[in-house]
Amino acid sequence: MRPRGGAPIHPSQPAPPGNPDLGGLPDAPGAEETYYLCSACHSIRLVTQQRLTDARWDYLWDWMIRVHGMPEMDDETRSAILDYLKRHYSSEP
């Protein structure tokens, strides 16, 4: 996990405090898109407590579309959100 463009943080360490208007997500490119898409269906806390592999984030994206009817996003939005999740909520260094 890398906070705001810095060095990786071990997954057991809490994420740095983030933007209270975005459910505490760290301010970085993709934060707003992530907040509004994810919180439309579930608590943003469900996202922030995850420490998934990058491959698992990709899988969950497709699974949420297929099983839960999440709307498909254009490639730019998909990339912005997945890059954000992988950067801030990945179990990979």
Beta bridge partners of 20: none
Distance CA 30, CA 85 (A): 9
pLDDT digits (tens, 9 = 90+) for 2-55: 443 444 444 555 555 689 999 999 999 999 999 999 999 999 999 999 899 999
pLDDT value of position 6: 40
Distance CA 46, CA 63 (A): 16
Break the chain into its structural domains and give their ranges.
Answer: 43-93
Provide φ and ψ at 63, rounded to 5°. -65, -40
